[in-house]
Amino acid sequence: MSDASAECVFCRIAQGKNPAEIVYQDETVVAFWDANPQYPVHILIVPRRHIPTFNDISSEDDILCRIGQAAQKVAQQMGVAESGYRVLFNVNRGGGQVIFHLHCHLFAREAPSRA
């Protein structure tokens, strides 16, 4: 992933070359605050590998499970797992995708009720 990772803002964040407020990471994904959060909780979960869109996930790839597991952890961490949250993938232009590095929005409309 030569050219893609040099140009792609999410690749750069995953590599630590661009700043982001990271809330979770493991060997396959990185999760960080959306730079322009639209909701009280608005986290992006991205795979470290550069996959352009949801359509480009290969059939044997388990990245979506990994993202789902990360989403569970992030929601727990943000205090919204039980109250509720959404996990959203925008796919291609008509689906609202702006950055062509696979990512999911994890957001909650209500501010988390922290103990």
Structure-block tokens of residue 87: 């996990």
d(CA 16, CA 82): 31
- Can you tell me which of 18, 22, 57, 77 binds another protein, judged by CB under 8 A? 57
Hey, which residues between 32 and 51 contact another protein (CB under 8 A)? Answer: none
- Can you tell me which of 54, 77, 79, 100 binds another protein, judged by CB under 8 A? 54
6 binds another protein (CB under 8 A): no
Q: Please check whether residue 20 is in contact with residue 33, taking contact to mean a CB–CB distance below 8 angstroms.
A: yes
Q: By CB under 8 A, how many residues form the interface with another protein?
A: 36
Three-point CA angle 114, 104, 81, nearest 5°: 25
- Can you tell me which of 6, 15, 92, 99 binds another protein, judged by CB under 8 A? 92
d(CA 110, CA 83): 9
63 binds another protein (CB under 8 A): yes
Structure-block tokens of residue 46: 């991205």
103 belongs to the catalytic site: yes
Task: Name the residues annotated as catalytic.
Answer: 103
